[in-house]
């Protein structure tokens, strides 16, 4: 165990199996529930319940991680999640199914800020660690499609439980070798001692709204994209293959993050990802071709979401004191869940009474609002932070 603690292998296990498990748990949930006879609004209810549970749990976990050993806190959550995900496909009653799914997703969402932050405080470059999250999510998506079609729909959730156990081993083995130096470099404009507790400052409040719009739109997209592809005539394993290929587009973003993330201004980075959302949602809304929509997903979907994961770490480092950054990350995660609850409710109802084109036209409007808010926001440049080198 001594040689394992702080080793590259521990980070591999943490990232690869965390994102593999996440992909298996939520990637095909709309298809899984609709194939069992539930409506789009019921799918949204399940997803919204999971996000409401996340809103309640994430700030608590963030505060516990700031106060106690974050590995022990997250390791315990993953152990519970693994057991619940293993029994999830055995459930038949809708209320119990929704409750168990909600508990698992809340635990995963609460662990996510810690997992992401660990890559910036390790002795390894960010890209070398985070790339395993990309691979894990891609593999999890592809394996889910194969298991769903050729073994059984429930098999992917039981495999998810095994993945969480492996992730727990990895997270307990990590070590923040360079935490003090990295966080001191990350104080930036908003993180200076005496000025830095800006969790409720103007910059942070603006950022919360922008983040809520981004994740509200992208989480709805992730929920219903597989079912849209299925409506376009794709088999579920082919839809999973498209999402798998799109996930691989995270590679250049992750591997070359050290060359642009620390140099570009926060507002420029935020504007770029919202423009990618506008392109993606515009393609889904106006070009009802499976081939064209697959291409749009390939070039924009995972690029935008992966970039935003890194942007989130950078913005928080530039506007929040280092002492409160885990709490701030947890509050951001909780708010994005809260926004997504509203988005899921509205979009599920819209899809029950409308079309996928109407759904994505609405999301295109959300992306446009986000671009305007970024343009007029007071968010600082954040070029003093050196997190990704």
**111-121 residue pLDDT tens:** 887 777 777 77
**Dmax over Cα atoms in the chain, in whole Å?**
59
What residue spans of 40-154 are helical by DSSP H? 40-67, 70-87, 94-118, 126-150
Whether the Cβ atoms of residue 236 and residue 145 lie closer than 8 Å to each other: yes
Name the pLDDT band for 193 (thresholds 50, 70, 90). very low
Q: Which residues contact 320 (CB under 8 A, 6 or more apart)?
A: 190, 191, 196, 197, 198, 199, 204, 328
The three-point CA angle 226-349-234 to 5° equals 20
What is the pLDDT averaged over residues 19-30?
A: 84
pLDDT at position 367, please? 93
Whether the Cβ atoms of residue 240 and residue 142 lie closer than 8 Å to each other: yes
What secondary structure letter does DSSP report for 352? H
Over 60: is that where the pLDDT of 389 sits?
no
Instruction: Give the orientation angle of helix 70-87 with respect to helix 8-26, to 10 degrees.
Output: 40
Name the pLDDT band for 368 (thresholds 50, 70, 90). very high
Burial of residue 330 (number of CB atoms within 10 Å: 0-12, 13-18, 19+): buried
Mean pLDDT of the chain: 80
Name the pLDDT band for 265 (thresholds 50, 70, 90). confident
Q: CB 96: neighbour CB atoms within 10 A?
A: 11
Over 50: is that where the pLDDT of 55 sits?
yes
CA distance 210 to 273: 11
Name the pLDDT band for 373 (thresholds 50, 70, 90). very high
Phi-psi group of 192: left, alpha or beta (phi > 0 → left; psi -120 to 50 → alpha; rest → beta): beta
Over 80: is that where the pLDDT of 196 sits?
no
Going by C-alpha positions, the residue among 78, 63, 81 that lies closest to residue 14 is: 78
CA distance 261 to 253: 9
pLDDT at position 274, please? 95
Q: Enter the pTM of the model.
A: 0.67
Over 80: is that where the pLDDT of 251 sits?
no
Instruction: Note the pLDDT tens digit of each residue in 173-186.
Output: 777 665 444 444 44
pLDDT at position 177, please? 62
Least confident of 9-18, 29-38, 277-286: 29-38
Over 50: is that where the pLDDT of 280 sits?
yes
What is the pLDDT averaged over residues 88-96?
A: 83
pLDDT at position 352, please? 79
Q: CB 154: neighbour CB atoms within 10 A?
A: 17
Q: Residues of the chain with pLDDT > 90: what percent? A: 8
Run of H or E including 312: helix 302-319
Over 90: is that where the pLDDT of 277 sits?
yes
Over 70: is that where the pLDDT of 350 sits?
yes
pLDDT at position 385, please? 63
Three-state secondary structure call for residue 226: helix
CA distance 56 to 49: 11
pLDDT at position 188, please? 44
CA distance 102 to 118: 25
Going by C-alpha positions, the residue among 248, 249, 244 that lies closest to residue 234 is: 244
Least confident of 82-96, 192-206, 216-230, 318-332: 192-206
Rg (CA), the chain: 20
Name the pLDDT band for 371 (thresholds 50, 70, 90). very high
pLDDT at position 57, please? 84
pLDDT at position 182, please? 42
Name the pLDDT band for 238 (thresholds 50, 70, 90). confident
Instruction: Note the pLDDT tens digit of each residue in 222-235.
Output: 878 877 887 777 77
């Amino acid at each position: 165990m001594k040689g394992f603690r702080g080793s590259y292998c521990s980070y591999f296990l943490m990232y690869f199996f965390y994102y593999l498990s996440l992909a298996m748990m939520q990637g095909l949930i709309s298809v899984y529930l609709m194939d069992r006879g539930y409506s789009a609004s019921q799918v949204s209810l399940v997803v919204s319940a999971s996000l409401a549970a996340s809103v309640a749990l994430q700030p608590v976990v963030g505060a516990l991680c700031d106060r106690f050993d974050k590995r022990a806190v997250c390791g315990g959550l993953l152990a519970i999640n693994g057991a619940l995900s293993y029994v999830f496909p055995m459930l038949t009653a809708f209320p119990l199914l929704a409750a168990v799914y909600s508990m698992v997703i809340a635990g995963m969402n609460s662990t996510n800020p810690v997992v992401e932050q660990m890559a910036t405080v390790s002795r390894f470059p960010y890209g070398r660690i985070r790339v395993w999250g990309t691979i894990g999510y891609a593999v999890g998506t592809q394996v889910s499609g194969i298991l769903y079609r050729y073994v059984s729909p429930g098999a992917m959730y039981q495999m998810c439980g095994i993945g969480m156990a492996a992730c727990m081993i990895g997270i307990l083995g990590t070590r923040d070798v360079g935490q003090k130096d990295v966080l001191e470099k990350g104080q930036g404009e908003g993180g200076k001692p005496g000025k830095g507790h800006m969790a409720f400052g103007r910059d942070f409040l603006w950022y919360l709204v922008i983040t809520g719009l981004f994740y509200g739109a992208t989480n709805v997209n992730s929920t219903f994209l597989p079912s849209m592809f299925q409506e376009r005539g794709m088999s579920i394993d082919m839809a999973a293959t498209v999402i798998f290929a799109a996930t691989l587009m995270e590679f250049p973003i992750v591997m070359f993050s050290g060359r642009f993330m620390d140099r570009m201004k926060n507002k420029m980075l935020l504007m770029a990802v919202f423009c990618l959302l506008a392109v993606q949602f515009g393609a889904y809304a106006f070009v009802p071709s499976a081939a064209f929509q697959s291409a749009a997903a390939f070039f924009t979907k995972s690029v935008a979401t992966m970039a935003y994961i890194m942007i989130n770490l950078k913005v928080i480092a530039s506007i929040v004191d280092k002492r409160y950054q885990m709490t701030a990350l947890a509050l951001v995660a909780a708010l994005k869940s809260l926004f997504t609850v509203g988005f899921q409710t509205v979009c599920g109802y819209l899809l029950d009474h409308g079309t996928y084109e109407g759904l994505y036209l609405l999301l295109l409007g959300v992306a446009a609002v986000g671009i305007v808010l970024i343009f007029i926001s007071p968010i600082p440049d954040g070029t003093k932070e050196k997190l990704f080198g």
